Amino acid sequence: MKIFLAILCLFFILFFPFWFIQFFAFIVLLVITLSFLYSRAVYYSIRISRFQDKIRAYKYQVIDIDFLIENRSILPVHYLSVFESPGKLSPVSTGKFIIALPVCSRKKVSYKVKGMNRGEYTLGPVMVKFGDPLGLFPWERRIEMACKVIIYPTVFNVTRHITNGYPGGNIKVKDKMYEDVTRLKSIREYIPGDDIRYISWKVSAHLGALYTREYLQSLHSPALLALNLALEDYPIRFRYVHLEKAVEICASLVVFFSALKQEVGLISNGLHNDIQPRIQIRGGHGHAMLLLETLAVVKGNAGQSDIINLINESHLPFPNGTRIILISPELPDHQMHALASMRRKRTILEYIPVPEKRQSSLHPKIKVFSISGLGGEVLYV
């Protein structure tokens, strides 16, 4: 219609001898041309960019989604509609904006979403709509700006205390068995009964009395978290709830041991891209983030998979004193005996039943922790 009108105006200008008809046709043709040029100029001058292409958050945490809209032309933009769908994330505020941009300006817009379930989500694309003042040449532009949002499991405060391990580490204890002779704590007066090997003869000679050295009492306790996500091992009733609880316990232990500056590893018979996660025991903040991202996307395994056999066949290196923590529903006796046999490899064996059971222990070599006694308030770290 607009092209036909422009051709008609041009026809009147060229072939009609009446000046007032030619003048009116010229005005109409000029308005159409300027509207088209204005619409095209805005189309190529609008730029939208994100501040980050990956966002990490915990379940139920409100997330701010920000992006920058920029007008790079010498023409003002009087009306611009911008919309981004939150996808499978729950919107807290709308992601639709109507803004005006002056000449060569930029504006930051944001909206809020919330992840109700752990997992990996994708935001984008961004839809931009614009029209010239007369609405003759509106356009709609789809801008591909994929943004990944990783929702971690809920993390709660672990209230347990580590009291056993191997000497020399970052966990402070009161047991003199874990004195680290390479880390001097203080020098004090000698008390009868102190080990004479710790007497500082130089200080004693200088001060004229016996003084003894005190060393820092600390231990080292690397942990391997064995997460059983075989669906057939979980009771049918509330299966999904118990499975999610197991993942949350595992994520909480990752944060707990990382805060203690201990190395952590993960092995699970769950599936992530059809692969069972096997992550070596390592330390550091980046490694803890890798574990949390894995726990965010791992799913239950509908096939048959023995978590104990998976640990034995994984060939993961276990440092001396590794604490193997099994997070699993109740397992048959032969599997628990197979787990107890790992005690010979100088490991510490622990078991967290999901759902919680009342029995105190399933095997004398395996220490059982209840869920209610393990966790405190929910954290977002």
Q: What pLDDT, on the 0 to 100 scale, is given for residue 35? A: 83
Shared domain check, 282 and 205: no
Measured in degrees and rounded to the nearest 5, phi and psi for residue 202 equal: -65, -45
Amino acid making up residue 98 = I
- Which of 347, 291, 283 lies closest to 319 in space, CA to CA? 347
Assign 373 a pLDDT band (cuts: 50, 70, 90): low
Residue 22 covered by a domain:
no
Residue 77's CATH number: 2.60.40.10
Q: How far, CA to CA in Å, does 339 sit from each of 228, 319, 329, 364, 366?
A: 13, 17, 14, 12, 8
Q: Is residue 113 part of a domain?
A: yes
The answer to whether residue 6 sits within a structural domain is no
Q: Tell me the C-alpha distance between 277 and 314, whole Å.
A: 10
Number of domains in the chain: 3
Is-cis flag, bond preceding 102, omega within 30?
no
User: Residue 327: what pLDDT?
Assistant: 92
Question: What mean pLDDT is predicted for residues 94-114?
Answer: 91
Clarify whether residues 197 and 173 are in a common domain.
yes
327-370 residue pLDDT tens: 998 888 888 888 888 776 678 888 988 887 655 556 777 888 87
244 plus 370 within the same structural domain: yes
Confidence of residue 378 (pLDDT cuts 50, 70, 90): very low
Note the pLDDT of residue 86: 87
Q: Checking phi first, is residue 339 left (phi over 0); if not, alpha (psi -120 to 50) or beta? A: alpha
β partners of residue 266 = 225, 279
Sign for the pseudo-dihedral over CA of 36, 39, 41, 44 = negative
Of 146-150, 182-186, 188-192, 345-349, where does the model show the most confidence? Answer: 146-150
- Cβ atoms of 123 and 104 within 8 Å: the answer is no
Helix (H, G, I), strand (E, B) or coil at 307: helix
The answer, yes or no, to whether residue 380 has pLDDT greater than 50, is no
Determine the pLDDT at residue 143.
Answer: 87
Last residue of a domain, one of 152, 183, 205: 152
| Eight-state DSSP code of residue 342 | G
Shared domain check, 365 and 248: yes
148 lies in the same domain as 201: no
User: Which of 46-60, 100-114, 117-131, 353-367 bottoms out in mean pLDDT, i.e. has the lowest?
Assistant: 353-367
The predicted model gives 257-271 an average pLDDT of: 90
Q: Indicate whether 46 pLDDT > 50.
A: yes
| pLDDT tier at 150, thresholds 50, 70, 90 | very high
Q: Are residues 367 and 275 in the same domain?
A: yes
Which of the four pLDDT bands, split at 50, 70 and 90, describes residue 121? very high
Mean pLDDT lowest for which of 92-101, 264-273, 331-340?
Answer: 331-340
Tokens (6 digits) for 238: 């509330």
Evaluate whether residue 116 is within a structural domain.
Answer: yes
Asked whether the predicted pLDDT for residue 319 surpasses 50, the reply is yes
pLDDT > 70: what percent of the chain? 80
* Domain ranges, residue 173: 169-219
From 200-209, 304-313, 336-345, the region with the lowest mean pLDDT: 200-209
Q: Which of 152-156, 161-165, 297-301, 373-377 has the lowest mean pLDDT?
A: 373-377
Do 215 and 237 lie in a common domain?
no
- Whether residues 249 and 363 share a domain: the answer is yes
Residues 208 and 309 in one domain: no
